Structure 1
């Protein structure tokens, strides 16, 4: 029998809360039902049976509040609801819904600070519950951390089931037929005689009854969607060029704008002269905004051209002006005063290292830009009584609050319309374009204005992936790794990012050691220390955040120690690994690749790397050939365990895309600074992997354990290390710094 879930009237409370006796936030606040935001705008004859389902006589709309930036989030969320609602995906419309506390993200509590994701102890679970309560009470609606499926796995299936059972109850009230004698099928309640009552015809009756409070979820054997190959809801539109993104949004009477702000991020604008720009064709106004100007014209190109003609006197950067000084700040942070965390300290590392380290090395990872393909944009219409913003954003409630502050309007009069995004990788967690659109909109109240960044403006002002440095010492004995002492220095991503959202996060920043301290290896003497460097260039979440660099550091260092021990890279990792699901993942990639050692002969080599991040064990093997023109990446094998795979095709594409993303950046990409300004301003200076460089990729998804996880980020951290380890196997050269092309050639 399927699990029974309980739902309060028009609200969700999945499971029960054990919040340390209710001391942290109060059990009442946690259990209190959330308001259904859809009820406020219902017309006669329409029903919102849960926060996620709206039914009208014209059709069924599924609310998919996790933002879609190309990862198929709308599709996966809709599939989870439709699975239990018993409706075909081609019968529904998807809508991200309004910003609302009802759409708080449960899964953000999964990686509780100081507890491994594999830790199922009372203390770990209590901390996760406290964090979950905080997310609900604060109404944190956010897309990130590979949490869309993890957050929606229960919520959305229950939403579909509640709507289904409530519609059956409405049909029973109309027909007198017992609910027990009814079934549902493809958007209709089916009576015993075969008669079909379409959901749309039942909307009005369903709106007048209480939602059914106890529902039984389907058994896996009855699933129509989950675990089955599906055509994503956006595939047809994207394949035919008809998908609409924020950049495509149009309104009658709309004008266009761009911005120019201090190229030294966060620096002031001391003065500007727009006389030449004002005289150009199509230019309507040049208005001051925070640290820069907005240029308003009758089309985007003219706004761009006019922006080039504005002259400025810029203030200095609020961080070191030269790139060398950024690295120097990381080096200086390796001291006790800047120790931020030491979650992992097992055995006696000092005693193990007393006789000298077998391996001692330093690793580096540069700043990286997000560089989404769709130019950053937002459209604003501001009046004295209302503000509307149309944009792609991962944080709609934060955007709503920011616009309210700028316009002076009440939050309830600010309307954020979330649009499909053409990429993000964490970029749309930031609000600069929303704030600037609101500032420009305030200057021309009553006129809609679309604000678009030039590529150069975007790259120059991107909040980057953190710069990071690691220092490792370790010893081996008897063909085995005996000690590993890893210190990681980077600025705080959380402090930088959350500070811009007006939030203060006390305590250590777990992202500094994310993907390193919590690895399931049983090294006898094992320490991972995080050092918080001084704030440098402003930084933000970039696909897999701290693990993006720490996976490279940790798995490269471990590989060096394994080589020094004379052991096989795969066999020694398996020997050290104590988590069953992680071991199975590593065994899967060994079997996929036919692993029989790192050397493959004739200038060929392969490397393996593993990283547990975002709750997902992921292992990869990269095969390379050392040609007379440089390193060629031949093939990548990737295995990951997410508990449940909703759409196998989308899963495979996620993993493949993450591998390409990670390898391309590892090979070629970096952001550096001169005179406080970004040196690389477009794709010619910040290269992605080329088609001819792309390897064959073989993917295997595992469904082990009870926890359901996401896959958007976990394949990124192991890729660079697996590549570096493969290069060593093929050439004998250790690459300890990215981008790797600074040290070896690639074809």
Structure 2
């Protein structure tokens, strides 16, 4: 094969900007086509037409590189490829593929920019284009920020179209027929006489020809799968208990390990006595690791029991140790020295408040644990020249880089095998548990090791969502909101998490004010200021990141201001909203909930709206104030993602986000004493129970100008809608989460 054909065989169109015809910065590195990692180690008869489609005589493999943490990402990616490839996605094998720069995310970084999702200025387009460039240059292979569909929508459909046209070209070579006499149908090339050639029978020919990259995507009117109700590719395996998660991985000769590290976050280990543990049945080793110990045994239970038998002398936490002092540090951050951002500053807030009757309120949100059902687990095997890692992770290339630093191996000798995760909510954006397993493997080379955390270790060594305080000041005039001033203080997620990934953090942290500064309301005097609290307990991203708490604080204060003005909460938001898609979402939820109708005594409705990750979401919660506490009756949700690619999963994600948001708002917090998390299992961190779960009605709108993701945006409005409903039913205004600190639920 000549050099030109070799380069074409190893390359593919890169980047959503390149595919979609958006802003492209004309650097050579960005325009250069990426290497196809699937070509390494191909067997005879196999072909990897693009980095997303591999075919051999046994079948078709679709590469779905965005992590599946329960949100259906693998299935959605497979459907996007299959739509253009013209196959049933359930007939293909799915693989997340290798950790490779070709699978970079060119969208997720936009959330860090001080550019509102509703902005379409030249500067905004240029900023998003720059993020796409940086994502490629950095090889940012990462899952997060509800970015899977927005980032992969064009790229995966293009990959499927390239593979389809290349297979047609292979059929042309085999049959001698021209392109216009060949069609495709469900994994086959269809000849003029109706005969069919299966794709798998063309694999060897396709392997020898240059991929066809001049392709046309199918018109949506021709789609068979996208926008139609879909059966997820994992639904049968999950429903029958056959789905393999990271914790299910098995290997011959594998041993089981668990770790126990200082429960005081960041504290060290002065020494330990493992004599009793070493004498326990099945225990083969007790090893030191950074900040703690590891126990290796022949099964999970024995490892867990032995770890608790080790007597450890723990050092103190270097961080502020008690929750009261942590909140005091946040409260002390409302000073000019700690000011981090002021992206929203319209009108003259100070002048508007000077001669008005000022409405003031303070809101507080706690640390929150990720608490996925599958605790942190990983399988590793280290040899002299190679490290293999099997786990669910959202950051496979960062894992490679960090483990290369830890082991001294070259990054090319570290192989990350991504498995499905039993939940994450942002927890698997970290690799601390993987580093622990690798530390064990460095002391036990050539041995497959499965490391599983106990649930208590999972809770107490989480990187939680940060606590925060917001202070609102406002004024009303002419029965409407005239001034709205919200100040938010919190530690920086970016500063904390990027340091663990060995990446620089610079500039303001948009997450401190996300879901507050960027809301589409035209209030005459409108200001949102962020204050950065000095680092305390290490923190990380949590489902919907900054908007998760800011939605509560912004929308609770918005409701208070509507009440102070004597204005209807829905009509006032509609009066102030300048963004068409957001207005339609508000109108839709009002219609769904019959807003304004009489619910009867001891009942109330609460409304909240948050635009997060470019998705406007409005929610109405209906509650009843019973003799035993608040009962949540119904929730109405309207959201606009531009185009609903799978109505079934769309509904499930919105319902799941509502339940997640409500459950945490009702009951959950992570508190600290002497640097130790006081909630160490689900009994102390109780989500919404089945009997408390309301009827949830969903409506998807398609007025947005871009396609968006839906995994996170339903979370932020849930807490304020519930709090506002409680006020409507009881007259009690609750300004601190969890709400159960102030009121009972039934």
TM-score normalised by the chain length of structure 2: 0.97
Q: Are the counterparts in 1 of residues 18 and 24 from structure 2 also a CA contact under 8 Å?
A: no
Cα distance in 1 for partners of 2:69, 2:519 equals: 29
Q: How far is 1:358 from its partner?
A: 2.9
| DSSP-derived class of the 1:637 partner | strand
- 1:699: which partner in 2? 698
Q: Deviations over 1:493-522 (max 9, x none)?
A: 011111111111210000000000000000
Shift of the alpha carbon at 1:729?
0.5
> 1:253 is matched with which residue?
253
- Single out whichever of 547-556 and 275-284 deviates more from structure 2: 275-284
On the 8 A contact 2:10/2:36 being kept in 1, the answer is: no
Q: Which moved more, 1:193-202 or 1:343-352?
A: 193-202
Instruction: State the partner residue of 1:4.
Output: none
Contact 2:372 2:422 in 1 (8 A): yes
Give the equivalent residue in structure 2 for 1:151.
Answer: 151
SS in 2 for 1:704: coil
Partner of 2:603: 604
Distance verdict in 2 for CA 1:19–1:629, change over 3 Å:
closer
- When the two structures are aligned, how many residues end up with a matched partner? 737
Question: Match for residue 617 of structure 1?
Answer: 616
Q: Is the counterpart of residue 652 in structure 1 residue 664 in structure 2?
A: no
Q: Is the 8 A contact 1:552 1:717 kept in 2?
A: yes
Q: Is the 8 A contact 1:10 1:49 kept in 2?
A: no
RMSD between aligned residues? 1.4
Structure 2 residue aligned with 1:553:
553
Q: Distance in 1 between matches of 2:424 and 2:608?
A: 26
- Displacement of 1:19 after TM fit? 11
The one-character-per-residue Cα deviations of 1:640-666 (angstroms, maximum 9, x if unpaired) are 000111111011000000000000000
SS in 2 for 1:486: strand
| Shift in Å, 1:365 | 0.4
Contact 2:24–2:129 (CA under 8 A) maintained in structure 1? no
Q: Which residue of 2 aligns with 1:165?
A: 165
User: Could you say what secondary structure the match of 1:611 adopts?
Assistant: strand
Task: Name the residue aligned to 1:231.
Answer: 231
Partners of 1:635 and 1:358 in 2: how far apart?
34
Map of 1:464 onto structure 2? 464
Change (3 A) 1:357 1:44: farther
CA apart distance, 1:9: 6.2
Give the whole-Å Cα distance in 2 for the aligned partners of 1:176 and 1:703. 44
8 Å Cα contact 2:266-2:319 kept in structure 1:
no
Q: C-alpha offsets along residues 282-309 of structure 1, whole Å, 9 cap, x if unaligned?
A: 1111111111111101111111000011
What does the per-residue CA deviation read over 1:164-223, in whole Å, with 9 as the maximum and x for residues that have no partner? Answer: 000001110111100121110000111111121111011111111111121111111100
Question: Equivalents in 2 of 1:477, 1:440: separation in Å?
Answer: 65
Q: Is the 8 A contact 1:19 1:126 kept in 2?
A: no
Distance 1:95 1:562 in 2: 51
User: 1:379 and 2:379 equivalent?
Assistant: yes
1:399 corresponds in structure 2 to 399
Contact kept, 8 Å, 2:468 with 2:488, in 1: the verdict is yes
Tell me the CA shift for residue 706 of structure 1.
Answer: 2.8
Query: What is the CA distance between 1:20 and its match in structure 2?
Result: 9.3
Give 3-state SS (helix, strand or coil) of 1:612's partner: strand
CA distance in 2, matches of 1:736, 1:255: 49
Q: Check conservation: 1:659, 1:716, Cα contact below 8 A.
A: yes
The Cα of 1:112 is off from its aligned counterpart by 5.7
2:725 is the alignment partner of 1:726: yes
Q: Unpaired runs of 5+ in structure 1?
A: 1-6
Using the TM superposition, give the Cα deviation of residue 601 of structure 1 relative to its aligned residue in structure 2, in angstroms.
Answer: 2.4
Alpha-carbon distance in 2 for matches of 1:265, 1:705: 44
- 2:514 maps to 514
Determine the C-alpha separation between the residues in 2 that align with 1:489 and 1:48: 50
Alignment pair present for 1:11 and 2:16: no
CA–CA distance in structure 1, aligned partners of residues 78 and 52 of structure 2: 9
Q: Deviations over 1:578-603 (max 9, x none)?
A: 00001011111111111116x63210
Q: Does 1:631 align with 2:636?
A: no
1:688 has 2:673 as partner = no
| SS of aligned partner of 1:152 | helix
Structure-1 residue corresponding to 2:120:
120
Q: For 1:600 and 1:355, how far apart are their aligned partners in 2?
A: 38
Partner of 1:570: 570
**Which 10-residue stretch deviates more, 701-710 or 504-513?**
701-710
Whole-angstrom distance in 2 between the partners of 1:603 and 1:48: 63
Q: Is the 8 A contact 2:107 2:128 kept in 1?
A: no
8 Å Cα contact 1:86-1:184 kept in structure 2? yes
Structure 2 distance, partners of 1:345, 1:435, is 44
The aligned residue for residue 426 of structure 2 is: 426
1:670 to 2:652 alignment: no
Query: Residues of 2 paired with 1:194 and 1:128: CA distance?
Result: 47
The answer to whether the aligner puts 1:48 opposite 2:18 as a matched pair is no
Change (3 A) 1:21 1:455: closer
